[in-house]
């Protein structure tokens, strides 16, 4: 394997001989500025290396050094596109690089003319630094792990069957650190979380940031606990039986502290809207790709990260024959094969392109999962009634029924919001539904609102639990966003405190322009750089045991537990779900299902039942095992279009209206045939709706039907009440 990482000579960071290395292909001369404790500086001079320092200066640096730290400048020597030192690099060394394109300079700068007479750029930190102890503008550090892993029993966790929990290290706990998060691991375990998903932890300028303004693919934000703090967190999570997913950004660099462009063509021009496009196809792009692959391998091996969430892969400029997503997945598969522990890649993409998760043999990229915004948009629009901006495509009952059963609403359909067709169909017969990660909200869906207002700030507790029930009874992989499980009242606005006042002002004005296009006023947009904006996003853990927050938390905990108690709910099979949305009389206003099992036993793609624009009142979600030809009975005497294994059926009945609803049970069913496994919301005549009640009996009545005088059993649902039953 060709190693592109700097300051490294073998695959592990504990190599006895490591050397300073810099990628800078168009440079005529390069130097490394080294600061180390005096005792190391002295021992280094006696190692017998032939390289001599250009000169030595003294400067006062971090308290990690003994007294004043001397800065010694050494020449680097060209090796292809790379520059390498003759002197070894030691753990704890602080260093930075300077370069020149002066034609009078050469490898041996002392033989051409005095190096002081040459115009040098820098010294700047290493773009591929493994540690930035003094921030993104300070010297880099040669890092060697000091935290040793203790968990030896961890065997990993595949995506299917997982429950993800997205969080921001800085706002999740009062401490805002990895150690603070470790203290909350028992809470997350008790909630039922199986995988913690960390928003990006790469170094950023300033003291507060969402994390997507990182400028280094290898280092870890120091204020969170640095690289050893991350290793400790992963180890502790594994000891609690939870996997760790890390959000990583390879589509752009942040504006504060990015020095890569001074050394090499890391970017290729053009803009993603967040920063310049990363160079994946231009001159020297092979090295950029190798650096990305090295970074991915490092997270998996040196930090034992289980999964990576790849930010905005639609922003990659990657028209080549070997897509970078496929290359990334090759690394994940290789590490999996070497360790026997599954390593997972999950993409964020707004393209609705199923090739991301389709097998390579079928023309896809082979990733384990991708975020699915269509399901979020459909659920949010149905419950909140919001239809502005991109929610305008998601207002009808049919959209919700289709999204819950087939993942993509936009699978080649016309998008009014985009003014064009969007997406392409999923091959439901072979694609696991569990490869689509779904949610009621995320950092994006909350933070990309002008005020960063959470759904809990606009919805009732019943409506919040309704959204959760739709996610947790779906065949997809569910994900929570920090605090949603108790209806947190704290917002999550965008925040970024750059070290440059100019950057802070540009960021603030850019956010205002963005939201002005969506109809929000300037006053609604908090200043991203203000301390108060960040402070407002910190979770208030005292809420957890208060009033409706406790009830919502109990409901979430029960919904997650149902997935453990009933394996059927964890089935990532499109053929295991059907959905119908009904009007006041109980007639379907819309319906859809994931896939049929035909007479030959093969899965087929069924047509959508109805495109009715009318708004339904209540929704029914059926989950079943597509094994036998026993059909699930529905209201109105019909049968669900997907197949079921009779005694292994779970149905959710949810009132999606502000008025009570009478829900007819399937024909031939008696009340006592149904086991109520979840209930949230006030029964008619009750004053409170803030408790789950799995022991409740279903209120019912009988009425003569106008045709045939058949007796029908009906269940009364309060506004926004949810009942889940097992048959």
**Enzyme catalytic residues:** 311, 348
Residue 463 has phi, psi (to 5 degrees) of: -65, -40
Distance of CA 50 to the CA centre of its chain: 49
Tokens of 274: 């967040």
- What are the beta bridge partners of residue 313? none
> Which long-range contacts does 262-271 make (Cβ < 8 Å, 24+ apart)?
262/99, 262/121, 262/122, 262/124, 263/22, 263/23, 263/24, 263/27, 263/97, 263/99, 263/124, 263/127, 264/23, 264/24, 264/25, 264/26, 264/81, 264/127, 265/25, 266/127, 268/317, 270/317
Transcribe 572-624 into DSSP letters: --GGGEEEEEE-TTS-EEEEEES-EE-TTS-EE-PPP-----SPPSEEEEEEE
The helix (H) or strand (E) run that includes residue 559 is helix 547-565
CA pair distance 650, 622, nearest whole angstrom: 6
CB atoms within 10 A of CB 714: 18
**Residue 71: closest CA among 84, 85, 54, 83:** 54
Quick check: helix, strand or coil at residue 399? helix
Distance CA 501, CA 506 (A): 9
Residues 371 and 427: their CA atoms lie apart, in Å, by: 17
**Phi, psi dihedrals of residue 516, rounded to the nearest 5°:** -60, -35
Phi, psi of 680 (to 5 degrees): -145, 125
Report the residue count for the chain: 727
Q: Is 195 helix (H, G, I), strand (E, B) or coil?
A: strand
If residue 271 lies in a helix (H) or strand (E), which one and from where to where?
A: strand 267-271
Buried residues in 374-407 as b, exposed as e (16+ CB within 10 A): bbbbbbbbbbeebeeebbebbbbbbbbbbbbbbb
Distance, CA of 377 to CA of 248 (rounded, Å): 24
DSSP, residue by residue, 42-106: HHHTTS--S---SEEEEE---TTSSSSEEEEEEE-EEETTEEEEEEEE-TT-EEEEEEE--TT--
Nearest-angstrom CA–CA distance, 7 and 125 = 13
Place of tokens 């997972």: 344
Burial 204-220 (b: 16+ CB within 10 A, else e): bbbebbbbbbbbbbbbb
Query: With contact defined as beta carbons under 8 Å apart, do 623 and 650 qualify?
Result: yes
Backbone angles phi, psi at 301, to 5 degrees: -95, -50
DSSP summary character for residue 283: T
Please list, in sequence order, all residues whose beta carbon lies within 8 angstroms of the beta carbon of residue 322, skipping any fewer than 6 positions away.
none
CA distance 412 to 420: 9
Q: Please give the DSSP secondary-structure letter assigned to residue 523.
A: G
Rounded distance, CA 522 to CA 512, Å?
6
Closest CA to 446 of 415, 504, 488, 402: 488
Q: CB atoms < 10 A from the CB of 180, how many?
A: 17
């Amino acid at each position: 394997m060709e190693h592109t990482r700097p300051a490294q000579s073998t695959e592990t960071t504990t190599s006895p001989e490591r050397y300073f290395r810099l990628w800078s292909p168009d440079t005529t001369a390069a130097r490394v500025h080294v600061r180390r404790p005096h005792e190391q500086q002295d021992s280094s001079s006696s190692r017998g290396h032939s390289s001599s320092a250009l000169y030595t200066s003294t400067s006062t640096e971090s308290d990690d050094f003994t007294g004043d730290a001397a800065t010694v400048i050494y020449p680097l020597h060209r090796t292809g596109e790379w520059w390498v030192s003759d002197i070894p690099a030691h753990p704890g060394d602080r260093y930075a690089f300077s370069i020149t394109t002066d034609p009078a300079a050469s490898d041996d700068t002392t033989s051409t003319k005095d190096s002081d007479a040459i115009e040098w750029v820098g010294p700047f930190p290493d773009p591929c630094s493994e540690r930035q102890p003094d921030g993104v503008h300070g010297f880099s550090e040669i890092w060697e792990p000091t935290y040793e892993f203790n968990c030896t029993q961890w065997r990993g966790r595949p995506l299917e069957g997982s429950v993800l929990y997205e969080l921001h290290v800085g706002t999740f706990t009062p401490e805002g650190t990895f150690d603070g998060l470790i203290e909350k691991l028992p809470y997350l375990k008790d909630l039922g979380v199986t995988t913690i998903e960390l928003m990006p932890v790469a170094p950023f300028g300033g003291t507060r940031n969402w994390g997507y303004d990182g400028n280094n693919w290898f280092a870890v934000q120091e204020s969170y606990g640095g690289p050893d703090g991350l290793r400790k967190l992963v180890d502790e999570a594994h000891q609690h039986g939870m996997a760790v997913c890390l959000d990583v950004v390879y589509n752009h660099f942040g504006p504060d502290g990015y020095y890569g462009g001074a050394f090499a063509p890391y970017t290729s021009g053009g803009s993603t809207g967040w920063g310049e496009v990363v160079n994946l196809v231009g001159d020297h792009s092979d090295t950029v790709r190798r650096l990305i692959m090295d970074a991915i391998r490092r997270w998996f091996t040196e930090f034992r990260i289980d999964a990576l969430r790849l930010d905005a892969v639609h922003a990659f400029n990657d028209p080549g024959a070997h897509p970078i997503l496929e290359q990334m997945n090759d690394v994940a598969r290789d590490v999996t094969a070497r360790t026997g522990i599954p390593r997972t890649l999950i993409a964020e993409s707004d393209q609705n392109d199923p090739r991301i998760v389709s097998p390579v043999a079928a023309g896809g990229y082979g990733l384990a999962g991708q975020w699915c915004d269509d399901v979020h948009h459909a659920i949010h629009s149905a419950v909140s009634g919001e239809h502005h901006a991109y929610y305008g495509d998601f207002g009808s009952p049919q959209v919700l029924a289709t999204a819950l059963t087939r993942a993509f609403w936009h699978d080649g359909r016309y998008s009014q919001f985009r003014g064009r067709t969007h997406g392409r169909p999923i091959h439901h017969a072979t694609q696991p539904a569990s490869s689509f990660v779904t949610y009621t909200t995320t950092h994006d869906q909350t933070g990309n609102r002008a005020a960063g207002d959470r759904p809990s700030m606009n919805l009732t507790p019943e409506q919040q639990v309704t959204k959760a029930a739709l996610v947790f009874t779906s065949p997809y992989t569910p994900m929570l966003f920090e605090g949603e499980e108790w209806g947190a009242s704290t917002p999550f606005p965008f925040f970024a405190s750059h070290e440059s006042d100019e950057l802070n002002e540009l960021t603030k004005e850019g956010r205002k322009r963005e939201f002005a296009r969506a109809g929000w006023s300037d006053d609604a947009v908090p200043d991203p750089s203000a301390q108060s904006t960040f402070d407002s996003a910190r979770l208030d853990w005292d809420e957890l045991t208060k009033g409706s927050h406790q009830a919502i938390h109990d409901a979430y905990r029960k919904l997650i537990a149902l997935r453990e108690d009933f394996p059927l709910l964890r089935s990532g099979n499109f053929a295991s779900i059907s959905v119908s949305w009904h009007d006041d009389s109980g007639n379907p206003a819309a319906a859809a299902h994931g896939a049929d099992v035909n007479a030959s036993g093969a899965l087929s793609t069924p047509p959508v039942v109805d495109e009715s624009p009318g708004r339904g009142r209540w929704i029914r979600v059926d989950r079943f095992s597509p094994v036998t030809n026993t059909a699930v009975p529905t209201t109105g005497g019909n049968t669900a279009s997907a197949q079921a294994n009779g005694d292994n059926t779970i149905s959710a009945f949810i009132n999606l209206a502000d008025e009570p609803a009478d829900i007819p049970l399937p024909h031939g069913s008696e009340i006592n045939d149904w086991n109520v496994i979840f209930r949230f919301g006030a029964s008619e005549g009750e004053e409170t709706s803030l408790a789950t009640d799995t022991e409740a009996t279903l209120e019912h009545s009988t009425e003569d039907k106008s045709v045939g005088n058949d007796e029908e059993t009906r269940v009364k649902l309060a506004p926004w009440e949810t009942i889940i039953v097992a048959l």
